[in-house]
Amino acid sequence: MIRYFESPGEDNTEEVIELVIERAIERNISHIVVASSSGKTGVKLAESAVPKGIKTVVVTYHHGFSKRGEWDMKAGNVKKLKSMNVPIISTIHALSGAERSITRKLGGPSRVEVIAEALRSLFGQGLKVCVEISIMAADCGVIPCKNDSEIIAIGGTGEGADTAVILRAAHSNRFFELEIREILAIPRKR
């Protein structure tokens, strides 16, 4: 059963986490990847998932994303996540990366930015984020990509979490092998 939220945003975070933990246990899914810019949502998920034996991976912006030379993760959240042995992936966005810099400098969207915009426009920011962070985590080798392994990805619109999907992850060089298998939660409006 899909949980539809009337509007996107942080207010949905607790319910998304509850749904995800429940579904991970039902489907015997061992890995959850979550987007978290400051680490707040990552800590919330890890506090629920790690004690149940579910591996949690936090994916965040690359250093310099918001401000040159700085990282958006809060030191206290990094410390909490490390104490729970939760990997923190900080790397370029799979669906923009260096392409965004070219677009800003020379104009015209890149092909990966078109994919990102199509996902965002059709399904919302949170689903685009779920796809993107699963690719980033796969490329860093912290989630399973062999055979028919499934993971859960959690994304959001702005802060917090409002979207969750079960998917078969893929590396960036095999993008079209990624499969969204279940939508667990998504906002009805964007």
The structure's pTM equals 0.93
pLDDT of residue 7: 94
Contact in structure between 127 and 163 (CB atoms under 8 Å): yes
Average pLDDT per block of 10 residues along the chain, 190 residues long: 95 98 98 96 98 97 84 93 97 81 80 90 96 96 93 95 98 96 95
End-to-end CA distance of the chain: 20
Tokens 């923009």 sit at which residue?
96
pLDDT of residue 25: 98
pLDDT of residue 63: 84
> Directed axis angle between helix 40-49 and helix 13-27, to 10°?
40
CATH code for the domain defined by 3-187: 3.40.1380.20
Per-residue buried b or exposed e for 130-153, using 16+ beta carbons within 10 Å of the residue's own CB: bbbbbbbbbbeebbbbeeeebbbb
Contact in structure between 55 and 79 (CB atoms under 8 Å): no
